Amino acid sequence: LQTCLVQPIAETLTEVGATIIGNTEAAQLRYERDHISGVLLRDGSLLRADWYIAALPPQQLTPLLPERWLTRYAYFQQLAELRSVDSTILHVQAEQPCATPRLVLLGGTAFHSVLATATTPDRTGFSLITTDSQFVQARPDSNLETLIPDLLRSMGLLRLGSAIASSHRRTIPNAILSLSPGTKLHRPIQRSPIANLLVAGAWTDTGWPPNLESAIVSGNRCADALALR
């Protein structure tokens, strides 16, 4: 995703005059009445803007909000009802070239999607995402070494005879919104009750499950709201 999505977006934003600040962390949202007046960073600096888009999971957004908003607005109170689950990404390197990057959404398996990208001219990297806890740490007697290649071959992504060069996994805590009963009622729309605050993310109310498509729809709705301001 870094090469196929994040880097092109960053380059496009830079070309149109945007400033991207890395290695920063927000500590608090400063406010005046029902407007955000700035974002206080951990290093003590303050960022100011006319509009703010919070593209954070609910567990990270809530601590930044003023207590007054949490007690006054049902919009923010409902965020406490949302639950997230850990996500495990299995990274697999295969000894075969990758002509075109592909993102495949999966159904009927423990995995939500698989991303195929070229890591070198002669190698393809596969990233499989799952929320199934059995993949957090494979047991010695697990059939993971055959399960993943068989799955990739069944989708036509891994060629017959192509060897798996390496594999590793990474688990991200609270990465994906849990779709437990009642969750739909608490997913917020992008336009918050705060005049200059929009909320974006796959977990917001988009009509989609909390996946990549949902994140794109959410971002587009925020962009539309800014364009119509």
Q: Give the CATH number, domain containing residue 115.
A: 3.30.70
Q: Give the CATH number, domain containing residue 78.
A: 3.50.50.60
Candidate from 19-23, 46-50, 124-128 with smallest mean pLDDT = 19-23
Please state the rounded mean pLDDT for residues 96-111: 89
Q: Has residue 181 been placed in a domain?
A: no
Q: How would residue 133 be classed by pLDDT, with cut points 50, 70 and 90?
A: confident
What's the chain's average pLDDT?
91
Q: Has residue 12 been placed in a domain?
A: no
pLDDT in tens, 69-88: 999 999 999 999 999 999 99
Q: Are 27 and 41 in contact (CB under 8 A)?
A: yes
Nearest to 104 by CA among 152, 136, 170: 152
Q: What percent of the chain has pLDDT over 70?
A: 94
Instruction: Please indicate, yes or no, whether residues 91 and 168 belong to a single structural domain of this protein.
Output: yes
Beta strands (DSSP E) in the chain are: 26-32, 35-41, 46-47, 52-54, 84-94, 102-105, 111-120, 123-130, 164-177, 197-199
pTM across the whole model: 0.80
Instruction: Please provide residue 54's backbone torsions phi and psi, each rounded to the nearest 5 degrees.
Output: -95, 105
Can you give the residue range of the structural domain that contains 119?
A: 84-176
Instruction: Please indicate, yes or no, whether residues 193 and 166 belong to a single structural domain of this protein.
Output: no
Q: Are 13 and 20 in contact (CB under 8 A)?
A: yes
